Amino acid sequence: MMRPAFALSLMLLAGCAALKGGDAPVTMRLSPRFSPAPQIVAAPSFVVAPVQARGLIGGQRYAYVDAAAPGEIRQAATFFWEEPPADALARALVAGLRSRFANVSGPGLPLTADRRVVALLDRFEEVSAGGSARALVAFDISQVAGGKAAMSGRYCASAPIASAAGSARAAAFQSAIEQAVATFVQDAASGTVTAAAC
């Protein structure tokens, strides 16, 4: 008699656990902003091609790397991006270039331009080491003029993640993407390529 009662109580506990909901999904938004230069120049004109992404970062799930397993890219169960990181980078490139140049169009308006900007998003992940976490953004980019690569470089930046909250994570990634894109835009304006810092 005790044994069936014990089994019944275990089944009830298991049923309660199965019905209990997990953490609610958190969707994070990126809105990179760039201050306009004192003088916006008319030439050259730019068109930003759709950005390609490597591996898991092509999706909307939040990616992270734990210091204990640096060779593994993991995905969070409840954190998601509002749009794929590659789309966020394309928007940031358009906004960044528009802060210095008058004629810039994005992937949605594939117009003819003096230069086509082609980028591959290589890293867009949280990296933890030594008890702290950082947002890391890295991409390879080329400017194509007349069918030939006019300039190519690698750009990256990282920013500390202040807390485990989704808003803190989004703020860190926004800061990192703004830093990396601002460096690229400065290079596009000066005709130089800055050595990647990370």
pLDDT at 108: 83
Q: What total number of domains does the chain contain?
A: 1
CA angle 83, 55, 31 (to 5 degrees): 25
* Coarse DSSP helix, strand, coil percentages of the chain, rounded to the nearest 5 percent: 30, 35, 35
On whether residue 176 sits in a domain, the answer given is yes
Nearest alpha-carbon partner for 161 in 198, 126, 124: 126
pLDDT at 133: 94
Residues of the chain with pLDDT under 50: 1-21
pLDDT at 148: 87
Its pTM stands at 0.85
User: Range of 185's domain?
Assistant: 43-190
pLDDT at 44: 93
On whether residue 31 sits in a domain, the answer given is no
Q: State how far the Cα of 181 lies from the Cα of 89, in Å rounded to an integer.
A: 8
On whether residue 73 sits in a domain, the answer given is yes
On whether residue 136 sits in a domain, the answer given is yes
62-107 pLDDT per residue, tens: 999 988 888 889 999 999 999 999 999 999 999 999 999 999 999 8
Domain holding 160: CATH number?
Answer: 3.40.50.10610
On whether residue 87 sits in a domain, the answer given is yes
On whether residue 68 sits in a domain, the answer given is yes
pLDDT at 134: 96
